[in-house]
C-alpha cells in the first residue's frame, strides 16, 4: 500500500503547485513534505522540462591549498584565487573535510599538596607622582600553589634579579614555607638561556634556590600550559582587581600593595565552585604541612660577572680593580659581587681571591701575595726609588709620596706615585710646580693623580695662587654702601 505522502493525489498536488510557480521549499512547507520528497516527485514528472546540464566544477588541488594555508595565507584569499563556482562556505567545508583538524590529546596534571609553586610577572598598574602627575608603570608579580590555587603576590617597579628574589622570598613568607619546586618563566633573572630541553638557570638564582632549598623548573619557551595555574591566577586578578580599582589613583607602592593584599585575602577566602564551595585557604591548610621550613635569614643577593685577568694581576669590576694570583693572568674568571665583598672564582668554580668591596674614591685593592716573589722584590725596590726621587723634588712631594706607602698595602699606590713623579722626569712640570701641587693635595686631602697634575699645570701656567689666609684690610677701608651712607 502506497504511503499517503507519495500517493497519486499528493503527487498531483506537488505538480500543480510547481506549475503555479511555488518553489520547492514552499511546496514542502505547504504539503508537510520533505524537500527531497518534493524533488523526487518533480523529477518523475513526464512533462517536466529537460534538466539543465550540470556544470562540472573545476578540479581543485586541495594539497596545494593546504600548504598555502599553513604558510599564513587566508582561506578566503585562496578561494577567490581559484575563481570557482563553489560558494565560500562550500569551499570551507570541503577543505575541512579534506583536512580535518585532529583534536589534541592533553594530560591533566596532578599536583601533589605543597610540592610546587608557580611564579610569573605581568604588566601592572600605574603609580602617579603627586607633585608632577607623571605616571610610572609597575609590574605584577604573582605566585600560585597549583594544588589549592592559593594566590600571593605584589606589585614591583621592575623585574630585575634583586626585585625578583625579594618578591619570591615575600611569597614564601606569605605561604609560611617553601615548596620543593618553583616553576618560573624564562626571565633573565632566573634563566640565562631558554631551551625546551636543557635551559641554563642563572647562577645567582641557583644560589638563591640552594639557600632556600627548592629546585628550579624553568617553563618551556612559548608553552603557557607549563604554568597554567599562575596564568589563570594573573587573568583572574586582571579581571577582578583591575576592575575594582579602575577609578583609583595610587600615589605610592605601599598604598597599591596594601589594596592588593586586601584583595588577595578576600580571594583566598572566597568559595570555589569547582571544589564544592571550599575556599583556597581551606585547601591550602592541607598542603601547608608538606612545605619545607623557612630559613632564618633572607638570601644576600649577588651578581655574577665574567672578567679577564689583566697583565698586572687585576680584574676590573665596576671601574674598580681587584688583584688575583699571578697564575691566572690572561685567564677568564667569574666574579661574584655582594653588598660588601668581591669574590673571584676560576673556571672550575674554586675561589681564588676575596676583597672588601671598594667604595668611594679608592680605585684598586691589591694583595702582595698575588704577585710572584721576584716581582714583589722589584716593586719594593721601586718604592724606595720613588721615595728618593720625591726627596729630590721637595719636602711637600716627599710627604705626599710617603703617605701613599704608609698604608697596609704599600704596593697599592705605587703606580700613582710613579705617575706623579714622572711629571717632573718627563719635564711636563717643574719641581716647584709639583711642590705647589703636593701642598694643595695635602691641604685639601685630594691625592688623586688627576688633581695633582691639574694643580701643577695650573701653577706652571702662572695661574693665580690660592690664598688660604683671610685677606688683610686696612681699618680705614669702607664698603660701598657704608660710604654712601656717610655721604648722605
Same domain? 425 vs 403:
yes
pLDDT grade for 224, boundaries at 50, 70 and 90:
low
In a domain, 413, yes or no: yes
Q: How many domains does the chain have?
A: 5
Residue 206, domain member (yes or no): yes
Mean pLDDT, the chain, rounded, equals 81
Contacts of 49 (CB under 8 A, 6+ apart): none
Q: Is residue 101 part of a domain?
A: no
Residue 330 shares a structural domain with residue 436:
no
20-30 confidence digits (pLDDT tens): 778 888 888 88
| Residue 5 domain-assigned (yes or no) | no
Determine which of 66-75, 150-159, 243-252, 315-324 has the lowest per-residue pLDDT on average: 66-75
Would you say residue 469 lies in a domain?
A: no
Q: In this structure, is residue 104 part of a structural domain?
A: no
Distance, CA of 413 to CA of 424 (rounded, Å): 18
User: Are 232 and 211 found together in one domain?
Assistant: yes
Q: Based on the domain organization, do 169 and 240 belong to the same domain?
A: yes
Does residue 49 lie within any of the structural domains? no
Q: Which residue has the cell 563553489?
A: 86
C-alpha distance from residue 135 to each of 17, 109, 128, 252, 258 (Å): 75, 41, 5, 11, 19
Cell numbers that stand for 245 in this block: 580599582
Same domain, 413 and 437: yes
pTM: 0.51
Same domain, 151 and 260: yes
| Residue 48 clears pLDDT 70, i.e. is over it | no
Same domain? For 18 and 74 the reply is: no
Alpha helices in 295-412 (DSSP H): 373-393, 395-404
Tell whether 339 and 410 lie within a shared domain: no
Together in a domain, 362 and 248: no
Which of helix, strand or coil describes residue 329?
A: coil
Q: Quick one: pLDDT band at residue 139, thresholds 50, 70, 90?
A: very high
1: cell is 500500500
- 366 and 380 both lie in a single domain: no
**Spatial CA neighbour of 237 closest among 136, 124, 88:** 124
List the CATH number of the domain containing 249. 3.30.420.10
Per-residue pLDDT, averaged over 249-256, amounts to 93
Q: For 454, which DSSP code?
A: H
CATH label of the domain that carries residue 339: 2.40.50
Q: Are residues 379 and 359 in the same domain?
A: no
Residues 360 and 385 in one domain: no
Range of the domain at 123: 116-288
Amino acid at each position: 500500500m502506497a504511503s499517503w505522502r507519495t500517493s497519486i493525489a499528493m503527487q498531483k498536488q506537488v505538480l500543480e503547485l510547481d506549475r503555479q510557480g511555488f518553489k520547492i521549499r514552499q511546496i514542502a512547507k505547504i504539503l508537510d513534505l520533505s524537500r527531497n520528497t518534493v524533488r523526487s516527485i518533480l523529477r518523475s514528472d513526464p512533462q517536466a522540462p529537460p534538466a539543465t546540464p550540470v556544470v562540472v566544477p573545476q578540479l581543485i588541488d586541495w594539497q596545494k591549498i593546504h600548504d598555502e594555508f599553513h604558510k599564513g595565507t587566508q582561506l578566503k584569499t585562496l578561494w577567490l584565487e581559484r575563481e570557482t563556482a563553489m560558494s565560500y562556505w562550500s569551499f570551507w567545508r570541503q577543505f575541512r573535510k579534506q583536512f580535518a583538524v585532529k583534536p589534541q590529546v592533553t594530560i591533566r596534571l596532578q599536583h601533589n599538596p605543597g610540592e610546587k609553586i608557580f611564579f610569573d610577572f605581568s604588566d601592572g598598574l600605574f603609580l602617579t607622582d603627586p607633585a608632577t602627575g607623571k605616571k610610572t608603570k609597575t609590574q605584577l608579580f604573582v605566585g600560585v600553589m597549583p594544588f589549592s590555587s592559593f594566590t600571593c603576590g605584589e606589585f614591583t617597579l621592575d623585574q630585575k634579579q634583586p626585585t625578583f628574589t625579594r618578591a619570591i622570598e615575600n611569597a614564601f613568607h606569605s605561604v609560611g614555607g617553601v615548596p620543593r619546586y618553583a616553576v618560573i618563566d624564562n626571565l633573565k633573572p632566573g634563566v640565562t638561556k631558554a631551551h625546551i630541553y636543557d635551559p641554563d638557570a642563572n647562577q645567582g638564582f641557583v644560589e638563591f634556590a640552594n639557600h632556600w632549598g627548592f629546585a628550579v623548573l624553568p617553563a618551556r619557551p612559548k608553552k603557557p600550559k607549563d604554568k597554567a595555574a599562575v596564568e589563570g591566577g594573573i587573568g583572574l586578578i586582571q579581571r577582578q582587581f583591575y576592575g575594582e580599582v579602575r577609578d583609583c589613583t595610587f600615589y605610592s607602592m605601599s598604598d597599591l600593595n596594601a589594596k592588593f593584599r586586601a584583595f588577595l585575602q578576600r580571594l583566598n577566602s572566597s568559595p570555589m565552585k569547582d571544589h564544592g564551595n571550599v575556599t583556597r585557604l581551606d585547601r591550602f591548610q592541607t598542603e601547608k604541612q608538606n612545605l619545607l621550613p623557612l630559613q632564618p635569614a633572607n638570601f644576600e643577593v649577588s651578581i655574577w660577572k665574567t672578567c679577564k685577568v689583566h697583565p698586572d694581576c687585576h680584574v676590573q669590576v665596576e671601574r674598580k680593580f681587584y688583584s688575583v694570583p699571578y697564575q691566572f693572568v690572561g685567564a677568564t674568571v667569574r666574579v661574584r659581587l655582594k653588598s660588601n665583598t668581591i669574590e673571584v672564582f676560576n673556571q672550575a668554580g674554586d675561589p681564588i681571591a676575596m676583597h672588601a668591596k671598594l667604595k668611594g674614591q679608592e680605585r684598586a685593592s691589591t694583595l702582595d701575595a698575588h704577585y710572584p716573589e721576584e716581582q714583589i722584590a722589584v716593586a719594593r725596590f721601586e718604592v724606595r726609588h720613588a721615595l728618593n726621587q720625591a726627596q729630590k723634588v721637595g719636602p711637600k712631594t716627599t710627604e705626599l709620596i710617603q703617605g701613599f706607602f704608609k698604608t697596609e698595602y704599600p704596593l697599592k699606590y705605587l703606580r700613582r706615585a710613579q705617575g706623579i713623579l714622572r711629571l717632573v722626569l718627563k719635564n711636563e712640570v717643574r719641581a716647584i710646580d709639583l711642590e705647589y701641587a703636593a701642598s694643595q693635595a695635602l691641604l685639601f686631602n685630594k691625592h688623586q693623580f688627576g688633581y695633582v697634575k691639574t694643580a701643577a699645570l695650573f701653577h706652571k701656567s702662572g695661574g693665580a695662587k690660592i690664598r688660604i689666609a683671610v685677606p688683610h684690610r686696612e681699618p680705614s677701608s669702607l664698603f660701598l654702601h657704608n660710604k654712601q651712607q656717610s655721604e648722605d
